[in-house]
Amino acid sequence: MSKPTEDELRPFFATIAARDTISDEEHRALVSAMGDRRVIAAGTDIAREGDRPPVSTLVLSGMTARYSTVEDGGRQITGLHLAGDFVDLHSFPLKIMDHSVASISRCTIAVVPHAELKHITEQFPHLTRVLWLLTLLEGSIHRQWLVAKGRLTADEQMAHLFCEQYVKAGIAGLTEGGRFALPLTQTQLGDALGLSIVHTNRTLQRLRRTRAIEWQDGIVQILDWDMLQELGQFDGSYLHLERVPR
Amino acid sequence: MPRYYFDIIENDHRSRDREGVDLPSLDDARREAQEALADMAAEVFRRSENATLTIEIRTEPDGASVEVVASASIRTN
């Protein structure tokens, strides 16, 4: 058991720095709120629907997914989180999990006790707004997924998701030469897009044929970013990348 | 798990599945094909007045189809 290092927290502070500036004191307050870091295997539930978690979880490395299951066993992934993302910051005020969170790949996580978050909300009003912003961003991303699912074709929706994941990875400092990790299986990609396996497979083959991306062994290489954005009708303004006082 | 290849035939155009999907059995492959047809019909039939959509399953990447699983068509004039 140990606390996360500054290096491990870099993606988290980068996601904040893309939208606001925090003081050294606020930075230290966030660092000291961190509980133990843990390594978890792929496919492990971090929080389950109905749980009352006493902590929120921050991803330090790897990828996690929010998901809900329906009666016939079908699974819908409603969010993907990478290093720097809180997977359940909202469980602090909401108390009961209304969905589950599982690791997609092997992950390193840090747990942040709700008591520490409470302390921050009582002592650091600006940091409180920053944390609020982070949960609002989740809502914004959910809205975009809903629009994509409801109004885009499968081809467009898939391209949109790749755009979003690339931009998010870039913010967290996790891209290099247009490459980033997307450790999803095709089934998981289908669960995130709400598409059947066969349709996902076909849509992915069509996307690959455009030569906008390559995706192999969990690594995406962006080949033509302009084309990918156009294919996905992607406009990243919903990610609110403006560094302004919140 | 065996691998199944799903060719999608839209009107006369066949998109050959060269990657395939690993599934436990042919029954599962049939179910997947049915779901995929429902998914794709919504898109295809929205943009064309006359269309036929068929899915064929193969068990070899270059082999003949083992069966036509699902087919749907629309005609509005």
Tell me which chain B residue has its CA closest to the CA of residue A198: B36
pLDDT (tens digit per residue) in A100-156: 999 999 999 999 999 999 999 999 999 999 999 999 999 999 999 999 999 999 999
Contact A198 B15 (CB under 8 A): no
pLDDT (tens digit per residue) in B20-34: 888 999 898 998 898
Residues 6+ apart with CB under 8 A from A193: A149, A154, A157, A158, A161, A200, A203
Contact A205 B18 (CB under 8 A): yes
Of residues B17, B35, B38, nearest to A202 (C-beta): B17
Tell me which chain B residue has its CA closest to the CA of residue A202: B17
For chain A, which domains are there?
6-144 (2.60.120.10), 152-239 (1.10.10.10)
pLDDT (tens digit per residue) in A205-216: 899 999 999 999
Q: Which residue in A153, A193, A196 has the most chain B C-beta atoms within 10 A of its own C-beta, making it the best mutation to test that interface?
A: A196
Residue B6 C-alpha from the chain's centroid? 5
Instruction: Give me the pLDDT at residue A123, please.
Output: 97
Binding-face residues of A in 114-173 toward B, CB within 8 A: 153-154
pLDDT (tens digit per residue) in A147-196: 999 999 999 999 999 999 999 999 999 999 999 999 999 999 999 999 98
In this structure, whether the domain defined by B3-75 belongs to CATH 3.40.1350 is answered with no
Three-state secondary structure string covering chain A? CECCCHHHHHHHHHHHHCCCCCCHHHHHHHHHHCCCEEEECCCCEEECCCCCCCEEEEEEECEEEEEEECCCCCEEEEEEEECCCECCCCHHHHCCCCCEEEECCCEEEEEEEHHHHHHHHHHCHHHHHHHHHHHHHHHHHHHHHHHHHHHCCHHHHHHHHHHHHHHHHHHCCCCECCEEECCCCHHHHHHHHCCCHHHHHHHHHHHHHCCCEEEECCEEEECCHHHHHHHCCCCHHHHCCCCCCC
pLDDT (tens digit per residue) in A47-95: 999 999 999 999 999 999 999 999 988 899 999 999 999 999 988 989 9
Tell me which chain B residue has its CA closest to the CA of residue A203: B40
- Looking at the predicted structure, is the pLDDT value of residue B44 above 90? no
- Looking at the predicted structure, is the pLDDT value of residue B77 above 70? no
- Distance between A153 CA and the closest CA of chain B, angstroms: 7
pLDDT band (50, 70, 90) for residue B74 = confident
